[in-house]
Amino acid sequence: MGGAGSRDEGAAAAEFAMVMPALVLVIGLVVGAGTVGSAQLRAQDAARGAAREAARGEPRSEVLSEARKRAGEGARVTIAEEGRYAEVTVEVPLPESLAPVLESVRARATARREG
């Protein structure tokens, strides 16, 4: 009754307990990387769209609105115009759970002004 089978069950539980923290860590890393990647794509899309708006000569408020629509309301948007080029930088904050690793992601896009 209390033979080799019960000892094997205990060993399996101990092995699972040893592997579980590593498994949780890997899952956390994958979710964190996905969050950072998604935020980076949003920032790049927002910067590109806002730079197009600025290049067409749209008012500054429209350019900011376009960037925040794509990146989210918490995004910081910087617009710089030099000569015939408009450059938009969008910084998207990351969730606080990722703050020890990375606080935000940033993307920059430049477009030549029309006309």
In this predicted structure, what is the pLDDT of residue 64? 94
Query: For the segment 22-63, what is each residue's pLDDT rounded down to a tens digit?
Result: 999 999 999 999 999 999 999 999 999 999 999 999 999 999
In this predicted structure, what is the pLDDT of residue 98? 85
- What are the structural domain ranges in the chain? 4-112
Query: For the segment 77-88, what is each residue's pLDDT rounded down to a tens digit?
Result: 999 998 899 999
CA–CA separation, 83 vs 88, rounded Å?
14
Q: Is the pLDDT of residue 3 over 80?
A: no
- Asked if 57 contacts 82 with a C-beta cutoff of 8 angstroms, the reply is no
- Asked if 104 contacts 94 with a C-beta cutoff of 8 angstroms, the reply is yes
In this predicted structure, what is the pLDDT of residue 111? 95
Of 96, 93, 111, 101, give the one whose Cα is nearest residue 40: 93
